[in-house]
Amino acid sequence: MGLFASLLQGHNHTPIHSHTYGQFRVANQPMKLVFGRWEEAGDPGENPRIHGENMLTPHRKAPIGVLVQLCHHQCVNVYLGLSSILSYIKVKKCYIYSFKFTMCHLFFRLREFSIFTGILKKKNTKNTFFFSEPPVPIAPPQLTSIGATYLWIQLNANSINGDGPIIDREVEYRTVSGTMYDLQPVDKTTHKIGHLDPDTEYEISVLLTRPLEGGTGAPGPPLRARTKCAEPMHGPQRLEVVDIQSKQVTIRWEPLGYNVTRCYSYNLTVQYRSKIPFKEETREEVCYLTQSHDPQHTIHNLTPFTNISVKLVLRNLEGVKESRELELQTDEDVPGVIPLESIQGSAYEEKIILKWREPEQTYGIITQYEISYKAVSSFDPELDLSNQSGKVVKMSNETTHMFTGLYPGSTYSFTLRASTAKGYGPPVITQFTTKISAPSMPAYDQETSLNQTDSTVTVLLKPAQSRGAPVSVYQVVVEEERPRRARGTAEILRCYPVPIHFQNATLLNSQYYFTAQFPAAGLLSPQPFTVGDNKTYNGYWNVPLLPQKSYSIYFQAVSTANGETKIDCVRVATKGAATPKPDSVEPEKQTDHTVKIAGVIAGILLFIIIFLGVALLMKKSGSVGTFLHCAETLSLQSMTRLQAITFALTITGLPPLVPSYLILFISFFKH
């Protein structure tokens, strides 16, 4: 067939014999046919002899020869030996024969070089024979519907190349990438190709067949079509955890094949849900390394020591399939910070009680707490804070601690942090200040003065020791007839926090008064002081003492800092009452008595003046008798009152004759 085709292609032929009965085309090239019996020539260069014409009849079974002359640069005789007529039919006044030829070169006697099958057709009565091609569709089939496992096509085979009649139709399809091939007979103009693979591209052609052997034409133009994706067969399987850390988890699964995804375009996501108390959070991430032989994915930024549900979701264009859900817990991590607002401190003079709560994010099981403390400052600059530091460790169920042995008036820094099995978390720092203490007064062995007179007492004043805050002032207090105290005690409730001047002591009915006050810088060493020297010290009058009274002399120190005031005092001396003289009058009572007498006398004189004025006016008007009668009546009615006044004046020290003088004056005026 190959040699014959090569001989017939690319030549324009000119007939050289008169016995030409028809033309036919092989490979679209025209050729001359001379029919007749062939007789072998004696000389190889001699042309063969052809006997008879029109020897091809439907009933002729004898072999005939067909001499084909091909001319290009020279004529070449090719003999087609018709060994037999295989079959024939008559269609519309035409006979269609099926021949079997043996092609030989006439000169070299190359018989049985090649065998092929052709069609010889005789039209009407012209006795013209030619070879024709089998039917081939001109256009490719048309796609009408697409599914995941099927394609509906329309054959579109009405327009063909070649000759009919068409008695059979077949659909040929194969995968574009792959070895799958199939051929299906078709009896309708539309056809469904089923049992296809999803998301696969196919090449589809139509084959047409006419009667007799060799009547099937070549496949028509192909149609390329791709099936849809199908829903995944199932979700990812064998999902398991590879590695668990505090903030990340690595999972892996069985590789996904095409038989599972049923689509070449798909995505795989991991969904995880964090189960935090009173809160649930769901997130999703895309898995990119899905084509690996050992696919795995790491989930980052997780919350430590948290229950998590993890599953894989397989999606394509047609559906979704999920894997089973894994329940796991992330590993522990160092805890979060202890809330600063939860730290409470109760400060005292020499201790601080600290309370706190566990971190809001424990990230595990709290095993212990560590509290470090250090003194950072003090109101008393003389304090040495170098040894005021330390560290304590508390168990997880202990959230309070009392720090003792602290210095008064000092600020301490506390650093707290919690710990899990993974270590300590970040620290939180806070500060608290102890309360200041009252200054420590020196002890006086004896409550005896250095010197004592009837109105003065000389004592020795010693500076106090500050405790948490420097001494602000020193004060000397005089208390009248105060019960004795235990020597050397320093109770703040028995000291004198309210300063009272001597001038206000009587009005306030106070038994004590401040007689002197000194700044702390004025008493750096022990020095004597005289109580009752009648001088003023920082606004306080150091009034002389009364010999008839008993006094206690107190010396107190005051410290003030951070809004606090603390006082400590000590009795430094006492003075007993002297025996009073008969005519002696106490200075303060003498002063009060004089004031009272002066007031009463002034009132009486004013009354007399008014009374005399009224009497003179009425005497001039002639109503003296009436006035005197009224005065007498008034005097009689007022006797009781005057007697009461007389008694009161007697008590206050006024002469009892004053009201008597008033009564005598009224009687004299009457007569």
Q: What pLDDT digit, counting tens, does each position of 132-157 carry? A: 678 999 999 999 999 999 999 999 98
| Rounded CA separation 90/93 (Å) | 6
Highest mean pLDDT among 132-146, 200-214, 222-236, 618-632: 222-236
Residue pair 497/565 in contact by the 8 Å Cβ criterion: yes
Mean pLDDT on 635-643: 42
Reported confidence tier of residue 131, pLDDT bands at 50, 70, 90: low
Structure tokens at 39: 């007789």
pLDDT in the model for residue 215 = 82
In this prediction, residue 604 has a pLDDT band, given cuts at 50, 70 and 90, of: confident
| pTM for this entry | 0.58
Mean pLDDT of the 228-251 span: 95
Share of the chain above pLDDT 90, in %: 53
CA–CA dist 477, 514 (Å, integer)? 5
The tens digit of pLDDT for each residue in 12-32 reads 333 323 233 333 333 333 333
Distance CA 435, CA 559 (A): 11
Report the alpha-carbon distance of residue 163 to residue 96 in Å, rounded: 11
High-pLDDT (> 70) share of the chain, %: 67
Give the mean pLDDT of 373-400.
94
pLDDT, tens only, 317-352:
999 999 999 999 999 999 999 999 999 999 999 999
Work out the average pLDDT over 46-65.
40
CA distances, 439 to each of 69, 116, 477, 570, 641 (Å): 145, 134, 17, 11, 60
Q: Count Cα neighbours of 551 within 13 Å in the Cβ-side half-sphere.
A: 32
- Using the predicted structure, report yes or no on whether residue 618 has a pLDDT greater than 90: no
What is the average pLDDT value for the chain, to the nearest integer? 77
| Gap between the Cα atoms of 419 and 401, Å rounded | 17
Q: Is the pLDDT of residue 391 over 80?
A: yes
Q: What is the pLDDT of residue 432?
A: 97
In one letter, which amino acid is 640? T
Element (H, E) at 395: strand 389-395
349's CB contacts (< 8 A; 6+ apart) are: 408, 434, 435, 436, 437, 468
pLDDT of residue 608: 84
* H or E element at residue 515: strand 512-519
CA 179/CA 198 separation, integer angstroms: 16
Distance between CA atoms of 107 and 36, rounded to whole angstroms?
18
Instruction: Decide which of 232 and 49 is more confident.
Output: 232
pLDDT by residue (tens digit) across 547-568? 989 999 999 999 999 889 999 9
Higher pLDDT, 336 or 636: 336
Q: DSSP string covering 161-224, please?
A: ES-----EEEEEEEESSSS-EEEEEE-SSEEEE-SPPTT-EEEEEEEEE-SSTT-B------EE
pLDDT tens digit sequence for 159-188: 988 887 889 999 999 999 989 999 999 999
Band (436; pLDDT cuts 50, 70, 90): very high
